[in-house]
Amino acid sequence: MAKTLPKRDVVIMGLGWTGSILAQELTQAGLRVVAIERGPWRDTATDFNIAYMQDELRYAIRKDLFLKPSVEAMTMRNDVSQTALPMRDYGSFLPGNGVGGAGVHWNGYTWRYYPSDFECKSHHIKRYGAKKIADLQLQDWGVTFDEIEHCYDRFEYLCGTSGKAGVIKGQVQPGGNPFEGSRSRDYPTPPLTMPYSSTLFAEAARNLGLHPFPAPSSNLSQAYINPLGVRIGQCTYCGFCERFGCGNYSKASAQTTILPVLMRNPNFELRTDSEVLKINLHPDGKTAKSVTYIDDAGTECEQPADIVLLCGYGLMNVRMMFLSGIGQPYDPKTGKGVVGRNYCYQTGGGGAQMIFDDKKFNPFVGAGALSTSAHDFNADAFDHSNLDFVGGATIGSGESNGRPITNRPTPPGTPRWGSKWKDATAKTYGRVMGIGGSGSSYPIRGNYLDLDPTYTDRHGRPLLRITFDFPDNDIRMQQWVSKQCEKIARTLNPKILTVGAVRKDWNSVPYGTTHNTGGAVMGADPATSAVNKYLQSWDVSNVFSVGASAFPQNAAQNPTGTVGMLAYWTAEAIRDRYMKAPGRLM
């Protein structure tokens, strides 16, 4: 029998970006908050120390910071005709493990989605007609960009994001992204200093009539003190961002922005190495009464609370809703049900790689989000009337790292080992420039999440099953964008030009991106969304599911900026509305 603990106002599953933001906001409002984190405590000084953090073998290859399948595995298949099998190692995407979550090892891109992204279905129907998107399951978010712009602003100023605004209060700004939604003010810090590859890309893009700009980065260009009084350092361009914690205190994370303040708040308590098993509902099923979890000593505990916040990695939020019986599971045969609906990913695989004899780059001088981007082919910035797809991609070029194990580009046809490989990698290193595209991922009826009928975890609970393949629409989109990247690359006259192939048949083994979205999507209609516009469960009014699981579809941009925005948006709804009148907000 579980050990019942003293009641708290709020219990949070997971202490990454969303959990930390919500805990900070709600403890400031006077609530007693406890966070239950499955992984260990992680701190910059002890866990990401500059003396050993730049260990590529330990962190990039052996994945020291990531979730292990022995703790929580998932199964995967491409369609319902296949039998899903467990992923024996996380490869295609890399969930975090421990305090800070995936926000510890992210690259730092801090994008906003476009106004049209939040009204994706209605926007496309209005401009192109319903037939254009008939094969897709697009949905509106239930909120508009203008409603939530201030929450984007709060997250950027928490992080100290470095960038150049494109549109401020309706006025286009020189040097920024002219396609973005109108913002209230500029970024808190100026852009990073761009490398040679980014400069070449910008010049070539401008010559073709495009609009390049520095990508918004939460690897900071200068030291900064955020609104909580936490000082973040200046990026040293060490090239150890993705898959690594930052030992310089210069990449925004929960550790470098919030936790130094939150952990001193007497209203807050953190329990690490403790795994939530399920949410317990009252007999009527309309509200939650507690969560059951296993603590660090292996004891089963029950934590009662007035509010339950799901702040795990998005896929874990969806699984917890399934395991707790919250919301109707989605059925791909009928299109009915909401939990598991509209699972999306990110569409990559295109782009161009160039090898030069007459140009020398320094890839080891890099940062996770050190890049110049162009959004002329993103979202609906361009006319799709005569194209056979909707959606788009960001394209850009920069230097994220020149690490010795994984950054070994060679010309096509080079052997994968031996003296010829050694000679080729020595000659090619520092001579390579890429133009890449990160594409939108739009939902179709057959891409979804559910519980696996066969495989279980160490506690006997069914694993999450992912059924996904890249939709034809998205493949056509990325093929078209890849041709645009090739056009830019050819103007630079490389010695060797290779254009990436875009393929279906999603594979869970090679790395793609850690941008999993959907499954507990937000919206204004309880028939097509698991949570409402405030990320509150339609069915269980004191449960909120916060994170990328709420995205009805995935835009081309990296999702972290929007995840942070939604955390502030939900915190405001709880503090300003729910606390005054507990119950359904819609």
CB 567 within 8 A of CB 18: yes
In 10 A of CB 32, how many CB atoms? 18
Q: Which residues pair with 557 in a beta bridge?
A: none
DSSP sequence for 370-406: -EEEE-TTSTTSS--TTSS----EEEEEE-----TTT
- Tell me the C-alpha distance between 39 and 14, whole Å: 9
Hey, what amino acid is at 501? A
User: For residue 331, which phi and psi values (nearest 5 degrees)?
Assistant: -115, 110
**Residue 241 DSSP label:** -
Helices (H) and strands (E) in the chain, counts: 13, 24
Contacts by residues 229-232 (CB-CB < 8 Å, ≥ 24 positions apart): 229/261, 230/256, 230/257, 230/258, 230/260, 230/261, 232/159, 232/160, 232/256, 232/257
DSSP sequence for 70-127: TTS-EEEESSTTSPPEE-SS--S---B-STTGGGSS---B-----HHHHTHHHHHHHH
- Dihedral through CA 344, CA 499, CA 374, CA 441, nearest 10? -10
**Residue 190 DSSP label:** P
Catalytic residue ranges: 515
Beta strands 212-214 and 371-374 are antiparallel
Residue 269, SS3 per DSSP: strand
CB 351 within 8 A of CB 485: yes
HEC string of 398-444?
Answer: ECCCCCCCCCCCCCCCCCCCCHHHHHHHHHHCCCEEEEEEEECECCC
Q: Which residues pair with 278 in a beta bridge?
A: 292
User: For residue 416, which phi and psi values (nearest 5 degrees)?
Assistant: -85, -5
> Which residue is associated with the tokens 């790395």?
511
Which structure tokens are listed for 237?
């361009």
CB 510 within 8 A of CB 500: no
**Phi-psi group of 349: left, alpha or beta (phi > 0 → left; psi -120 to 50 → alpha; rest → beta):** left
Residue 573, SS3 per DSSP: helix
- Tell me the C-alpha distance between 207 and 225, whole Å: 38
**Residue 578 DSSP label:** I
- Tell me the C-alpha distance between 167 and 173, whole Å: 6
CB 424 within 8 A of CB 448: no
- The C-alpha angle 186, 192, 197, rounded to 5 degrees, equals 125
